[in-house]
Amino acid sequence: MNNILYLAPLQGYTELEFRRSWSKFFTGFDLALSPFIPLAEGDRFRSHQLRDIFPDENKELPVIPQVLGNDPEKFLTLAHHLHDLGYQTINWNLGCPKRIVARKKRGSGLLPYPDMIRDILEKIIPDLPLKLSIKTRLGYYSPMEFAELVKVYNSFPLQNLIIHPRTGLQMYDGAMFLDDIENALPQIKHEVVFSGEIIDFESYEKFRLRFPSIKSWMIGRSVLSNPFIPEWIKAGKIETNEQKIRSKLQHFHEELYCEIRYRIKFDRPLLNKMKDYWSYFSHWFQKEQSIFIHLAHLDSLNDFNESVKKIFETEELASFEARSNRPLTTNSKAFIHI
């Protein structure tokens, strides 16, 4: 199987610490997109945002930096800096559906304005020192917007189009417009990366058979609920040794905790960060809801760590069928900003 698997950019989750920890225990991803670097904060970029994509820190899993914004001059400033760091590709986020982003005509909020997208591309492409990839949705209000967007995208030398088959207004809910992608594929001149609810080997096979021309696939939220998914897809089978599964999950969690502990020095923000992850990690176990509720109410980092240790020692793992069929939502109300 020679298809390419991408790790999606999940703001707040798939930063450097996660990517590095995941790569020590799991396989299957060929590339990752970084969570976006915003252009709206002046000409200087925050050190932690650049640290997240610093090449020496990303040796285990190659990363493509992603940018969010609509300012051509700032876009080029960042692109030249990334080129100096050795990068060859930059991704422009036209998919983020968060309303606070969209109403500023950033992310998916730019999709109703194809002429504005064309104008930005005309300004950056001639001076861009990197290849350009675009992550897009089918539109903001309606998938019917995609026809005009394809005309714009086809006018420029893009490395690929990463397409999520929903609109911006849908956020991450509702039916995917798979017929619209199928109808649009013959008109798209660029390589297409499919990004949408690949939650197990079966769903991957369904999409692969429906879209045989697509050779690259992006996996996002489901890898938090089941970090084995990429290697299961590449191997064409699932792991059945529960002892091996439990051991890998526990060691991965310990490594992730150590990575984040190195960056976050104070107990309270570290505790909150780990609780965010456990809104997904709780899916690893049969009693996911009660596990998450228990952890969410803990106020002490020591109590949290003791509880997690006990969970790994005593709680029954979710069945493979249950893990594969879990809905792609958190146990909390947090949003993920793809």
pLDDT, tens digit, 9 for 90 and up, residues 207-252: 999 999 999 999 999 999 999 999 999 988 887 888 999 999 999 9
Percent of the chain with pLDDT strictly greater than 70: 91
The side-by-side arrangement of strands in the sheet containing 131-139 is 37-38, 66-68, 89-94, 131-139, 158-167, 191-195, 216-219, 4-7, 31-33, 63-64
Cβ atoms of residues 119 and 159 within 8 Å: no
Task: Indicate the residue type of 31.
Answer: L
**Average model confidence (pLDDT) across the chain:** 91
Cβ atoms of residues 323 and 284 within 8 Å: yes
What is the distance between the alpha carbons of residues 59 and 326, in angstroms, rounded to a whole number? 32
* pLDDT tens sequence across 78-136: 999 999 999 999 999 999 999 999 999 999 999 999 999 999 999 999 999 999 999 99
User: In the structure, what pLDDT confidence band is assigned to residue 333 with cuts at 50, 70 and 90?
Assistant: very low
| pLDDT at 321 > cutoff 90 | no
| pLDDT at 336 > cutoff 70 | no
| pLDDT at 39 > cutoff 90 | no
Domain boundaries, the chain: 4-235, 242-325
Fold of the 4-235 domain: TIM Barrel (3.20.20)
* Calculated CA dihedral for residues 138, 139, 144, 147, nearest 10 degrees: -70
| pLDDT at 182 > cutoff 50 | yes
What is the distance between the alpha carbons of residues 299 and 272, in angstroms, rounded to a whole number? 9
What is the distance between the alpha carbons of residues 67 and 246, in angstroms, rounded to a whole number? 36
